[in-house]
């Protein structure tokens, strides 16, 4: 997968559009625009954060499903690293979800 920051284009290899970067005149043969979040729209930002939290949870669930398969015949430190990564992913998902909730929360006046 190829990403070009100037055009916010992610090459997926399955769609022909022939878009060209104006900064470096590179033509992408297979690409489609990647979604760009508008920083001014709080709903879009909250939805993007919610999506990120869901993806982190899915990754953690996938790692958790793999963990029992690694216990037989694999180095102990492999399991330790995966358990550590699981903890970090779950914390990251919780923090990103909290950030999404706080975007839509009413401001506290003091």
**What are the structural domain ranges in the chain?**
39-104
pLDDT in tens, 62-76: 999 988 887 677 888
Split at pLDDT 50, 70, 90, the class of 79 is confident
CA angle, 42 then 43 then 47, to 5°: 115
Q: How far apart are CA 20 and CA 92, in angstroms?
A: 36
Q: For residue 91, which of 53, 34, 43 has the smallest C-alpha distance? A: 53
CA angle, 89 then 83 then 67, to 5°: 110
Q: Which residue has the tokens 């869901």?
A: 54
* pLDDT over 80 at 82, yes or no: yes
Split at pLDDT 50, 70, 90, the class of 78 is confident
- Report the pLDDT value the prediction gives residue 59, as an integer from 0 to 100: 95
Query: What pTM was estimated for this model as a whole?
Result: 0.56
């Amino acid at each position: 997968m190829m990403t070009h920051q100037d055009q916010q284009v992610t090459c997926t290899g399955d769609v022909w559009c022939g878009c060209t970067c104006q900064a470096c005149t590179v033509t992408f043969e297979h690409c489609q625009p990647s979604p760009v979040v508008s920083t001014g729209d709080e709903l879009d930002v909250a939805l993007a954060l919610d999506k990120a939290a869901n993806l982190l949870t899915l990754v953690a669930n996938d790692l958790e499903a793999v963990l029992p398969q690694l216990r037989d015949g694999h180095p102990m430190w492999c399991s330790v690293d995966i358990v550590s990564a699981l903890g970090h992913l779950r914390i990251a998902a919780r923090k990103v979800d909290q950030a999404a909730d706080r975007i839509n929360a009413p401001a506290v006046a003091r």
